[in-house]
Amino acid sequence: MPSDPPSALSAGTTAAGPDPLEARHVLEFPGGYTRSTGPVIGRFLTELRDRRIVGVRTAGARVLVPPLEYDPDTGEAVTGEYVEVGPAGTVQAWAWVRAPRAGHPLDRPFAWATIRLDGADTSLVHAVDAGAAKAMRPGLRVRPRWRERPSGNITDIECFVPEVTMINAPVRAEYRVRPGAALTRFFTKIKDGVILGGRCATCDQVYVPYRTSCPSCGVLIQEEREVADTGTVTTFAINNLPDPRAPEVPFVSAYIMLDGADIPMIALVGGVPAHEVRQGMRVRAVWVPPEERTMSMANIRWFAPTGEPDVDLSAGVPGGGV
């Protein structure tokens, strides 16, 4: 159990030390009070010890939980009929306890709640171990967590806990990935600072990155064709949504038609404020220093403006598409 919040024990302590005129005083009947339950509460606690929760039926057919010897509405004696209820129930109302005190049923933040057990017509007050206040709501379904050794006391129910509504399902697929022959050839050239394309002889189109089949006609691409590391921004987006795997926002992802290519590549544009990027802007690859280059597109840091005049796109975008 946690210690009490600052209270009588510490209040008498001043900066000058313990106050000699303040003393601790405890009222506690040795061994605790003996309290007779009567037949109705006794039955309830006896059933609790067997991990069952029962209520009692009133003459008006309501089920009282916890049971009483009388109908609180009319004062009449209840019937002798006991009804097993729960063990699940529904939270009616609740209050969050941020800092539990000594004597509270839980040593971590919890809710006091009125709980209507299934089959009962009245609510029971008990603790709900919900983890966080935002997990609590009227209508929350809960079930008792039983004490290991029940003894016939309301604390035989340690607390109530929410029903299971969500599980965590970790899924992980791990692969070893190798680029195919065409991409390996492309990256070999990228390591040398050269962007390699392939020309489809049938379509007379140059594809970047280099590939060995034409996506349009399907024939084998046999001709390697080096393309320039300069090109034209055909269109772009300014990305403002941060993602740990993406460049720092705002970043510009652009379709760049490299000089000598017939299909644009998607790449980062840098070295210029995002809002100054334009469709038609001329750009050049900014390479990392040769000693830092690997077999990867990371060799190109981004594309930066060349300062040449923009290409006029009103006559058509280079290569036709975007």
Partner 1 sequence: MGERCAVIGVGQTRYTTKRTDVSMAGLVREAALRALDDAGLTFADIDAVVVGKAPDMFEGVMMPEAYLADALGAAGKPMTRVHTAGSVGGSTALVGASLIQGGVHDRVLVVAFEKQSESNATWALSTHLPFGASLVVGAGGYFAPHIREYMRRSGAPDHIGALVAVKDRRNALKNPYAHLRIPGIDRAMVESTPMLWEPIRYLETCPSSDGACAIVLASEKAVTGTPAWIHGAAMRSEPLTRAGRETVSPQAGKDCAADVYRQAGVTDPRRDIDVAEVYVPFSWYEPMWLENLGFAPENEGWKLTEAGCTALDGDIPWNPSGGVLSSNPIGASGLIRFAEAALQVRGMAGEHQVEGAATALGHAYGGGAQFFAMWIVSNRKP
Supply the minimum distance, in Å, between the C-beta of residue 264 and partner 1: 9
Supply the minimum distance, in Å, between the C-beta of residue 87 and partner 1: 21
Of 155 and 212, which CB lies nearer to partner 1 in the complex structure?
212
| Helix runs in the chain, H state only | 8-11, 38-49, 181-191
Supply the minimum distance, in Å, between the C-beta of residue 301 and partner 1: 9
Q: Give the rounded distance of the alpha carbon of 114 from its chain centre.
A: 29
Of 21 and 241, which CB lies nearer to partner 1 in the complex structure?
241
Of 123 and 205, which CB lies nearer to partner 1 in the complex structure?
205
C-beta atoms surrounding 54 within 10 Å? 23
Supply the minimum distance, in Å, between the C-beta of residue 166 and partner 1: 6
Nearest to 254 by CA among 227, 279, 230, 285: 279
Supply the minimum distance, in Å, between the C-beta of residue 251 and partner 1: 8
Q: What tokens were used for 122?
A: 């009245």
Of 151 and 296, which CB lies nearer to partner 1 in the complex structure?
296
Of 120 and 267, which CB lies nearer to partner 1 in the complex structure?
267
Nearest to 159 by CA among 115, 95, 98, 99: 115
Q: Which residues pair with 5 in a beta bridge?
A: none
Residue 55, CA distances (Å) to 45, 75, 273 in order = 11, 17, 72
Supply the minimum distance, in Å, between the C-beta of residue 237 and partner 1: 3
Site residues, partner 1 (CB under 8 A): 165-166, 169, 171, 177, 179, 183, 187, 203, 205-207, 215-216, 234-241, 243, 245-247, 250-251, 253-255, 262-263, 266-268, 279, 295-298, 300, 313, 317, 319-322
Supply the minimum distance, in Å, between the C-beta of residue 215 and partner 1: 4
**In 212-264, at which residue ranges do the beta strands (DSSP E only) sit?**
223-227, 230-239, 251-258
Of 110 and 236, which CB lies nearer to partner 1 in the complex structure?
236
Of 64 and 263, which CB lies nearer to partner 1 in the complex structure?
263
Rounded to 5 degrees, what are φ and ψ at 81?
Answer: -90, 120
Pairing of strands 230-239, 251-258: antiparallel
Starting at the earlier edge strand, list the strands of the sheet with 53-57: 63-64, 53-57, 82-85
Rounded to 5 degrees, what are φ and ψ at 265?
Answer: -110, 150
